[in-house]
Structure 1
């Protein structure tokens, strides 16, 4: 099994996916491409998955149409007649594998062995669908408690309305389903292709967490000091100078109303995957009815 590709994902923005991206690209032998590369890979996988299911569902009908048409019955020359046999499926899967092959070759051309791509806000199910066609696909899934996610998103201007807050909470709940399922079993049955990372645990012992990341991914000599940098904003120096200016925005303070919304929507999931931190929402000083 190879060490590529790797999808770096998270339940919501500001959960640590860019943090992992920077660590991967700091290694001797790895690089983590951005969201566009991941989007293409996952979209191609989703398209291939759905089309293969449709081909399977209509296989007998298509065979019936084709046999009649070849027998001279032109009434069966229907507009949606498909290519015979398994060739459409092979073409779809082949296109996906061709895409992967080119990323493999492009990565080797820059003298790297391991390539990843970042796809925050992706469900684990969408990544599993891709793994159906790419057997060596791996996933690093980093998650963070929703209170800090919202504080970071608010500081960066990603959340400014209650509707946006509700959307982020809903997204976080939906995309932590896999983490909740693993947590119920004390993470004793984690799929081999998955490396879940609790952001808070990572920060508590960075050296151990990086060693685990290297063991899972095949990355070598990740620069430990990268994990100590506080960066959450990348902006061009100017309209004419694309040189990134890195900075850090302190997490925003949440209002009681915002904390109430988070508690109302997320308290059960927080309790489930953060049992060691029962007071994450205590600062709201509210009892959720």
Structure 2
């Protein structure tokens, strides 16, 4: 894996700090006093069924929605009061596909680089580096529409890394992909955290994407129902697996490998 240089954060400051965040759509409360933090150079899973509030939370972190209750900080920078400083430290991959299918991989990435004020020569160097990171260097001039779903996801991850953020958010990044593609992309993100010191928050509803060594933040009906290591969550709930623990905490039945 080629080295991806990132912005750093202050020592001892959380990569992401979510403090008592609530959000509502009219009378419907989507998030209810959500609080947790993510340490620098760490990987955590935001685990919850569809409709739990994961995408709403990511929309607040990325400033697609305004934070009206509570506070969100990225490496100490408040996303409302210092949005520029906060957001330049953030890379995000949303659930919906966002590549322009009629443009080449290079054109998609170059456009993103220009939005971040990266000059053409530097952009080309960074594009080569991030494509090597996601093992897509040979698809530089291919049209986005010619890529498989898994390859598109890799390009979107590469795009999120272009401006060298130290925090990466991925919202259901493997939705619609086959098992092998899901496992490969997730393994690449874990490796990126381990080798490059990036912090990553991986949102999913799929139990089989959670490893025993992971830290999990569980959401259900807009509330945090657990915030600990998988081992600790299983132990404190008196269950045998993280799937059983989730079912117990949310009083919902889950199909194998899926919380939906």
Question: What is the TM-score when the length of structure 1 is the normalising length?
Answer: 0.27
Relative to its length, the structure with more strand (as a share) is: 2
What is the TM-score when the length of structure 2 is the normalising length?
0.29
Q: Which has the higher helix share?
A: 1
